[in-house]
Amino acid sequence: MKYITCPKCKTKIADGHPKCPECGYDFGTRKNRIPLFAGSCLLIVAFASGLAVNISVAAPQPTPTPNAEIIETIAPTPVPTPTVENIEVYAFGRELDADGFTAYVRDKPFTLTAYPQPEIARAEVSWSIKDSHDTSESAALVISPDGMTCEFTALKPSGKNELTVRCYGAELVIPVYLWER
């Protein structure tokens, strides 16, 4: 016959009794503890493996590369370059023409404004001045962020110069005379 020892009072009892006759310790609970512990471990392992499966399923998948046909249908239509026939430049409340204008050294800067024709919103206008003597700069141009206007300042007397305004292939050259007062 097999004997067991009561863990509470240390009495030896024949195996198979549900309770200790001395202290009333319930051996059934002790026997159920092992399967309960094992079952708990199995639940934890099952939960952890299920969690791993969920993580791997939730991992981002690489996005497929669209085929060339879709790219062609999505690509925006290119915007054609505007056509400018001519450029008008205004200063002092009048249009500047082939006669040009005169500026004097030490005068306040004044504004020149370009108007491409036909009128274009956000036109790309470039400004430059060329000294007739190819020496250091004889005038300063401070161009606005939109490019449509510039502040002109005479720096030194150099006689006849050329102010060039360009916009989408159109070009206007205006004579500028820089003198000392």
Q: What is the distance between the alpha carbons of residues 19 and 24, in angstroms, rounded to a whole number?
A: 5
Judged against a pLDDT cut of 90, whether residue 8 lies above it is answered with no
Q: Are residues 51 and 105 in the same domain?
A: no
For the residues 53-76, what does the mean pLDDT come to? 58
C-beta atoms surrounding 167 within 10 Å? 22
Judged against a pLDDT cut of 50, whether residue 118 lies above it is answered with yes
Range of the domain at 121: 86-179
What is the residue-averaged pLDDT of the chain? 79
Residue 78 within a domain: no
Listed range (27-31, 36-40, 55-59, 164-168) with the worst mean pLDDT: 55-59
pLDDT, position 74: 66
Helix (H, G, I), strand (E, B) or coil at 160: strand
In the chain, what percentage of residues exceed pLDDT 70?
A: 71
Distances (CA, A) of 150 to 58, 101, 173: 59, 15, 15
Residue 95 within a domain: yes
Name the domain boundary from 58, 74, 105.
58
pLDDT, position 77: 72
Judged against a pLDDT cut of 60, whether residue 69 lies above it is answered with no
Q: Are residues 13 and 53 in the same domain?
A: yes
Judged against a pLDDT cut of 90, whether residue 76 lies above it is answered with no
Please report, as a single letter, which amino acid is at residue 158. Answer: S
Q: Are residues 105 and 169 in the same domain?
A: yes
What b/e string do you get for 117-141 counting C-beta neighbours within 10 Å, with b at 16 or more?
A: eeeeeebebebebebeeeeeebbee
Cis status of the peptide bond prior to 21, with omega within 30 of 0: no
Q: Which two tokens stand for residue 98?
A: 């082939």
Judged against a pLDDT cut of 90, whether residue 173 lies above it is answered with yes
Task: Provide the number of structural domains found in the chain.
Answer: 2
CATH number, domain with residue 94: 2.60.40.1080
Judged against a pLDDT cut of 90, whether residue 22 lies above it is answered with no
Residue 76 within a domain: no
Residue 65 within a domain: no
Q: What is the distance between the alpha carbons of residues 17 and 5, in angstroms, rounded to a whole number?
A: 11
pLDDT, position 113: 93
**Residues 103-115: tens digit of each pLDDT:** 999 899 999 999 9
Q: What is the pTM of this model?
A: 0.54
